[in-house]
Amino acid sequence: MGKLVVGNLKMNLLSSDEREKYFELFKKEISGKRLGDCEIVLCPPFIHLEVFKKTLSKRTKIGAQNMFWEGSGSYTGEISGAMLKNFGCDYVIIGHSERRKYFCENNEEVNLKVQSAVKADLKPIICIGETRIEKETQQMLSVITKQLKKALEGVTRPKLENIVVAYEPVWAVGTDITPTAHEIMEAKVLIRKILVEGFGKKYAEKVPILYGGSVNSRTVKNLCNDPEMDGILVGRESLVPHEFIKIAEIISNSN
C-alpha cells in the first residue's frame, strides 16, 4: 500500500488571489519531486473544489472537508456526497475534531455521513481521537473504539477498501503538542484490531491508518518513522506548499 499524505486546508485561502498564489507555489514545489507511490490529497474549502480539480494535475487528488448525509433537496447550506463526486472529489474528511467541537457533530451523524460518502463512491477519511481530559483519565482506548465502531456501522466488507481512518488526538490538533511515536503506534494497533474483529483480516488490512496532529517537516520523521504507518493528515502546514511537499518527500522515503 502506498503512503497517503492529506492536506486539510481548513477555512483558508480567502480570495482568488490567495488561491492563485497557492497554486503557483504548490506546482513549483511538487514539480520534479520523487514521491514514489505516495498519494497526495488536498482538501480545500468547498468553494475552491472545482478550481483545485481543474488546476492541479492528476498527481494530486482532491477531497472535501465535510459533507451532509442526504443526497439532495431542501437542506439549505449543505453539500451532498453526490455533489462532491460530480465536482471531482475522491475523498472527504468526516468527523474532524473541529466539526465535533464547533458543530457538535456526534458519532451517529459521523456514521450517517460515512455511509452516504461510501454510497456516493467517495473515500471517507474518518477522524477519531480522544480529548486531553479523556487521555488524562485513561479513556483513549474506549473513546476511539466507540468512535470507530459507530462510524463504520452499516459499511459492508467490500466497501471497506474505500475507507481511510485518521487517528487525530484532539489535544494534538492545532496545538504543536504531539504524542510519542509509541503512542501513535499503540492507537494504530488498536484501530487495526477493531477493523480485523469487525471485518476480518483480509478486508481490514486494506484500510490505511493515518496520523494527524501538529505534524511538520521537523517532527514527521520521529512521529511516523514506522514503516507500518500508512500516511499522514496535515493541517496548518499544508498551507505552506514547501513544507507540505517536504513532509510528503520524507514520508515517501520512510521505508
Could you give the residue numbers annotated as active site? 96, 168
Q: What is the C-alpha to C-alpha distance for residues 5 and 38, in angstroms, rounded to an integer?
A: 7
Does the footprint of ligand PEP cover residue 99 (CB under 6 A)? Answer: no
Of how many residues is the chain composed? 255
**Cell output for 197:** 474483529
Q: Please choose, out of 22-30, 73-81, 191-199, 229-237, the segment that lies near ligand PEP by the rule CB under 6 A.
A: 229-237
Query: Would you say 252 and 229 are in contact if contact means Cβ atoms under 8 Å apart?
Result: no
Near ligand PEP by CB under 6 A: residue from 162, 214, 217, 252: 214
Measured from the CB atom, the residue of 48 and 199 that comes closer to ligand PEP is 48
Compose the 125-164 pattern: x for residues touching ligand PEP by CB under 6 A, - for all others.
----------------------------------------
Q: What is the C-alpha to C-alpha distance for residues 187 and 142, in angstroms, rounded to an integer?
A: 11
| Residue the block writes with cell 487525530 | 168
Does the footprint of ligand PEP cover residue 114 (CB under 6 A)? Answer: no
Measured from the CB atom, the residue of 61 and 203 that comes closer to ligand PEP is 61
| Burial of residue 166 (number of CB atoms within 10 Å: 0-12, 13-18, 19+) | buried
Near ligand PEP by CB under 6 A: residue from 168, 230, 243, 249: 168
Compose the 174-213 pattern: x for residues touching ligand PEP by CB under 6 A, - for all others.
x-------------------------------------xx
Buried/exposed 39-76: b ≥16 CB within 10 Å, e otherwise:
bbbbbbbeebbeebbeebeeebbbbbbbbbbeeeeeee
Query: Would you say 217 and 250 are in contact if contact means Cβ atoms under 8 Å apart?
Result: yes
Measured from the CB atom, the residue of 174 and 198 that comes closer to ligand PEP is 174
Near ligand PEP by CB under 6 A: residue from 91, 236, 247, 250: 236
φ/ψ of 49, rounded to 5, equals: -55, -50
Interface with ligand PEP by CB under 6 A: which residues? 8, 168, 173-174, 212-215, 233-236
